[in-house]
Amino acid sequence: QTVVTQEPSVSVSPGGTVTLTCGLSSGSVSTNYYPSWYQQNPGQAPRTLISTTNTRSSGVPDRFSGSILGNKAALTITGAQADDESVYYCAFFMPSISWVFGGGTKLTVL
């Protein structure tokens, strides 16, 4: 069974840059897994930030960017703001036509 690994918690200073990563237990991440990223605030539905590795969804500020870093998918926030404090989930599309989600990273801005 494929496991997706994310940092449980990360902190960043206001105005700083932070990178969250997302790995696959089965090996290296590539664009073929169509990495996507979602932001979720307490009591709310997830909001789609990034699809197909690095495509920002409509209305998502350009301080959010997606990439492949080494053998992982990555979400970078450049110039973090207080309202970026949230839980971030990544997901991969698997060849078997299924999706696996990471356990989420709680981002603290302080």
According to DSSP, residue 43 is labeled: T
Site string for another protein, 6-45 (x = CB under 8 A): ----------------------------x-x-x-----xx
5 binds another protein (CB under 8 A): no
Amino acid at 101: F
Quick one: how far is CA 52 from the chain centroid?
A: 12
Give the residue with the Cβ less far from another protein, 74 or 91: 91
Q: Which listed residue (24, 80, 91, 109) binds another protein by CB under 8 A?
A: 91
Q: Which listed residue (7, 47, 60, 65) binds another protein by CB under 8 A?
A: 47
- Phi and psi at residue 32, to the nearest 5°: -65, -15
> Which segments within the chain are labelled E, that is strand?
4-6, 9-12, 17-24, 36-40, 47-51, 55-56, 64-69, 72-78, 86-94, 98-101, 105-109
Question: Which range in 12-20, 47-55, 68-76, 77-85 contacts another protein by CB under 8 A?
Answer: 47-55
Q: Which listed residue (88, 102, 107, 109) binds another protein by CB under 8 A?
A: 102
